[in-house]
Structure 1
Amino acid sequence: MIKWIFSLLLLFTSLWGHAHEALFEALDVANAAEAHLKWYQKGDRWTFDNRYEERRDEILPLLEALGYFEAKEASKTHYDYAVVLGALHAAVQKRIDHLVAEYNRGVRFDTIVFLTGKRPVHPEKEVGFTGTETTVMIQVWNTTPMPEELRTLPLIIIDAPPLPEQGRPTTESTLLAWLEENPKPGSCLFFSSQPYVICQDTIIRYILPPSFEIETIGPEGGRNLPLAVLLDTVARGFYWSELLLQKDLR
């Protein structure tokens, strides 16, 4: 147990340490706690204040070095679950396309899970869709070209309710809604998209019990997002990594 915790601490240091020190120095913050205070923004990403954009050319290479933009592929060839994380339509399409690409690459799953919910369709960012995020995901799944063997796999849809403050579900609330269904523990390949893979992987590891084997992947992307969104994602990763570390040290 002590050896395992020590390995976790080494992993935490290697992932969030040296490269983030360069980021801290560039943006004049002392540590992860101060970075979270300065970079985290409440609300939906498209409502964020546009901060730090004048530093884009300096900051993007540092985020690139941290792995926020590169594609992530599955490390194994079989998983009990392929779990697609909900999002706006454009991101959902990328995630399902990546799932199909992984299947075509030889990765197999027993069951598909959509972690989504009753977020109303965004009138500007999801033009042509009606209903909720859940109906968008179902429509994308039904219209995306894929092998018939993949399309006919069992599909579980977690249609989580919106949280009162956000007006929509979150990554963590959809995970908790799935756990309420008492899924059989097993190996899970989660489908996110960049630049959110690292942060969402940390949230998943915090929420799910250790009986679930977790891996999170996604297609490349994120380089053109506002720097405020990118730094907010880094800040959220700090927050959830600290919670995960505290949980595993209990």
Structure 2
Amino acid sequence: MSNSTLQELNEEINEISDEIRKSLLSAIQHFNCWLNETNVSLKTFDIKNIIIEPYKNEDWIMKVNNNNRGEKIVSFNPYILKSCDYNFFEIVILHEFFHLVVQGVPNKDDATKVKDYFGSDFMSLIDIEADFYVALYLKEKKEFDIKTYWSTYFDGSKVFIDKWVRNKKFERFIGSVLTINKLFLSEDNSFDLYLPSISPVITENHMKVLVIKEKHISFEEINISYEDFKDIKNLYKKPSHLTFEGYYSVLKNFCIQALNVQDLSFTKN
């Protein structure tokens, strides 16, 4: 039986293929080992306690519950795999796994509690940190460069598009763009998490950002014209209207301005 026929059968019974299941569990295991090796986390999650559920048309990707022995069981819902390729799906799963094993925010209810107790900006920062460490892992262990990362991201960028631009989600996206590009542009894997506020852009032609660094936090200003802002907003809202080269060009131009880097350094990889 051909691979395509097997895939069709798997989709009919609403299951991912064994090949994808094995690849995903292997990726999670390697990511967990890397987190241990780099002392980001000393926790190890047993692969046998990870379940890849059948496709469920429900608004969740990861859930964690305890079994009757008190062990944590993590379930992943692969529904987004019907709308993106495997490489993007893997990035999303590693992001979710980081929430679990490092940050202690595995369920949607936990994220809601973070927002209720500390505000939505803090949850954005948690997401940006997860994005940073997944990108760092891909850079160090899979030899991703900046263009490879955004090519993979572009392939799945339409998955989480909202019907309108929600300010906090848009700010979180900009924060991840700045954080990840700074990471790839730095030779020392710079730990700079950017948490922006877009409020001053329209009236003052700049963006305020909190930059969480390894040893301190700084309050900084990024000079961004309203035209640059509109370009990144349109990219966020309608990525499918762009080719990858167009998408990457907008990201590049935005970050050359925002991070004050030269075009040569942005493309040196």
Q: Which of the pair is proportionally richer in helix? A: 2
TM-score range, shorter chain: under 0.3
TM-score normalized by structure 2? 0.24
TM-score normalized by structure 1? 0.26
| CA radius of gyration, larger in | 2
